[in-house]
Chain A
Amino acid sequence: MKTDCPKRAAAWIKPWTSQSIGSKFQHRIFYALIRMGGIRLAYPLLYPVVFYYMACRPSVRERTRHYLSRRFIRKNALQRFADSCRISVALGKVLIDRASVGICGPDAIVLAFPDKARLFSLLAEERGVILMNAHVGGWQVILPGLGQLRRPVNMLLERHVRDVDLHYFEHGRLPMPFRTIDPRGFLGGTLEMMEALNRGEIVCVMGDRVFGSDKNVLGVDFLGQRAFFPFSAFKIASTSGAPVVVFFSHKAGPTRYVIEIPEVIRVPGGLGRSPEAFYPYVRRFVMALEAYTRMHPYQFFNFYDMWS
C-alpha cells in the first residue's frame, strides 16, 4: 500500500524508544510555567516548541507520519505538516496536563467516568480485571482516577533509564499509586500478572505496544493495513478467567477528560498455544481502537511504527 512516508525519510527515522525528545532543562521550563500560572501559561509555549521540532527536526516529524499517513489521505505537503503539528500540540497538552496534576494536585483536571459502575460490577466477580489501554487521549493523565476503583492496580510498564519525563506522582513526590510490573523481568512479568489477577486486582496493559522482545504478536488490519498487536494479555485472560476491559480516554475540554469502556472482551479457556486462536479477541480490541481514531483522530499518540 502506498503511504506518504517516503523511503528516504524512513531510513533516518530512529527506532522508537520511550525516551523523551526534550532535555531535562526544557522540561523544567514547562514545569516552572505550570507552577507560576498553571496550564494557561504553559500551553502558549507549546506552539513555538512544536513548530520548531516539526520544521527543523524532520526525523521527529516523520515519527508522527506512521499513524497520520494511514489515518488521513493528504496530497498536500502543507496539510501533512499541519497534521503533524496538530497531533504534536495535542500530545504536548496531555503531557502538560499530566505535569499539572502532579504539581497542582488532582483537582487540576476533571475526570468523567460514566462507565464506572460497569467496571465495579466486573471487579465484583473477583477474577481480577485486565484494563487494556492504548496510547490515546490522556492515558497518563487519568492515572489518579484509578484510585477511585479501590483495588490495587498493577501496571505493565517499561521505562527508559534516561527518560527525563516525569509521571504526575513524581512531581508531587507522592507515593506511586500502582505497582509496576517490568515486562523485561522474569518470563515477561506474566507470573506477576497472574498472581495479581488471582488476588482479584487490576492489571493495566497497553494493547497497542509490543514490549521488548515479545514474540507473541498477531497481524491485524488497522487503518487499512496489517499492523502488529500483542496477544499475551488475551492468553492470560483465557487462563485466569479475568475479563479484558478496553479502557480509553479522551481530552474533552481544556481541563476535562472522559474515560470510556468501549468493549469488555471475555476470552474462553482452553484455547491452546496457537496465536490464531486469539485473533478474534485481538481484532475486537483493534476495532475499538480504530473506532476511537475515527472519533478522536488527533488523540492517537502511538508514534511507534506498528505496521512494520
Chain B
Amino acid sequence: MDLKTRIKSLIVEELRLEDLRPEEIPDDIPLFGDGLGLDSLDAVELVVLVQKHFGVKIKDMDEGRLAFQSINALEAFISERLKE
C-alpha cells in the first residue's frame, strides 16, 4: 500500500468517516471546510494520527497549515519528515 492510500485509509478509519471509502478521496481537495469537510476538532485527531502511525510530529500551527492542505500536501510533509 502506498503512502497516500495508507493516509486515506487511516483518515477514514480513525476519524470514522462513515459512507466514505478511501479511494473516493481525491488527492488534491482541501481536507477542511468545503473539501473533505473535516473540522477543527478533526485536526486534533489528525495531529495524533500522524504522530501515532508515522512517528511524525506536527510541531506548530505553521506546519499544520502546510500539511493539512490536502492528501498530496500531507503525503509530501510526511515523506519529507521520514527522510530526515
Residue numbers of A with Cβ under 8 A of B are 185-192, 194-195, 214-216, 232, 235-236, 239-240, 272-273
- For A194, give its contact among B16, B32, B42, B44 (CB under 8 Å): B44
Residue pair A239, B48 in contact (C-beta under 8 Å): yes
Of B1-9, B21-29, B56-64, B72-80, which stretch is located at the interface?
Answer: B56-64
Residue pair B64, A239 in contact (C-beta under 8 Å): no
Known: A232-B40, A232-B41, A239-B44. A191 touches B16 (CB 8 A): no
Residue numbers of B with Cβ under 8 A of A are 15-16, 32, 39-45, 47-48, 58-61, 64-65, 68
Task: Name B61's closest neighbour in chain A (CB-CB).
Answer: A191
B17 CB, nearest partner CB in chain A, Å: 8
Q: What A residues does B44 contact at CB under 8 A?
A: 190-191, 194, 235-236, 239-240
Residue pair B39, A216 in contact (C-beta under 8 Å): yes
Cα A195 to Cα B64 with chains together (Å): 11
Consensus secondary structure, chain B interface: helix
- For B60, give its contact among A191, A236, A239 (CB under 8 Å): A191
- For A191, give its contact among B15, B39, B43 (CB under 8 Å): B43
Q: What B residues does A195 contact at CB under 8 A?
A: 59-61
Q: What A residues does B16 contact at CB under 8 A?
A: 272-273
Consensus secondary structure, chain A interface: helix
Known: A272-B16, A273-B16. A191 touches B64 (CB 8 A): yes
B63 CB, nearest partner CB in chain A, Å: 9
Cα A215 to Cα B45 with chains together (Å): 17
Residue pair B40, A188 in contact (C-beta under 8 Å): yes
Known: A239-B48, A273-B15, A273-B16. A190 touches B41 (CB 8 A): yes
* A-B pairs with beta carbons under 8 Å apart, 29 shown: A186-B64, A186-B65, A187-B40, A188-B40, A189-B40, A190-B40, A190-B41, A190-B43, A190-B44, A191-B44, A191-B58, A191-B61, A192-B60, A195-B59, A195-B60, A214-B40, A215-B39, A216-B39, A216-B41, A232-B40, A232-B41, A235-B41, A235-B44, A236-B41, A236-B44, A240-B44, A272-B16, A273-B15, A273-B45
